[in-house]
């Protein structure tokens, strides 16, 4: 995605690529902070004229997402700064994450997905 949305790519082609890549699924942007950050950085780098030119493709793309997906993406995008960095994770002050229990869940999911055990942190 970073290559396709780079400054060297024509904006219209990049917008078309993004439209195809995201076709019908805002979940990609919702659950992959790096992709959302890349899209934000690309959009922030467009001039006003280029942004206006690619706006129809962007509207088609985001118009296919469900209202809850659009709302959730908007909430995450509100924490972005246009730098292309992923949104900052904000944990509540009263977050009682039990890292040992979380590690057990991560290992279980890794096993289900067939990931190597070495790539999963131990408690």
Three-class SS of the chain? CCCCCCCCCCHHHHHHHHHHHCCCCCHHHHHCHHHHHHHHHHHHCCCHHHHHHHHHHHHHHHHCCCHHHHHHHHHHHCCCCCCCCCCCCCCCCCCCCCHHHHHHHHHHHHHHHCCCHHHCCCC
pLDDT score at 116: 67
**What digits encode the pLDDT tens for the residues 30-41?**
888 888 888 888
pLDDT band at 120 (very low <50, low <70, confident <90, very high): low
CB atoms within 10 A of CB 40: 22
In whole angstroms, give the CA distance from residue 45 to residue 81: 11
* C-beta of residue 26 within 8 angstroms of C-beta of residue 66: yes
Residue 89 has pLDDT above 80, yes or no: no
């Amino acid at each position: 995605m970073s290559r396709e949305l780079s400054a060297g790519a024509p904006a219209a082609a990049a917008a078309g690529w993004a439209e195809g890549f995201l076709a019908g699924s805002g979940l990609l942007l919702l659950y992959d902070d790096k992709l959302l950050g890349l899209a934000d950085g690309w959009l922030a780098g467009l001039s006003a004229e280029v942004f206006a030119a690619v706006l129809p493709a962007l509207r088609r793309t985001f118009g296919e997402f469900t209202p809850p997906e659009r709302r959730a993406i908007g909430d995450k995008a509100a924490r972005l700064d246009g730098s292309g960095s992923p949104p900052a994770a904000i944990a509540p002050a009263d977050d009682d994450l039990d890292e040992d229990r979380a590690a057990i869940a991560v290992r279980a999911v890794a096993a289900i997905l067939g990931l190597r055990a070495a790539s999963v942190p131990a408690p």
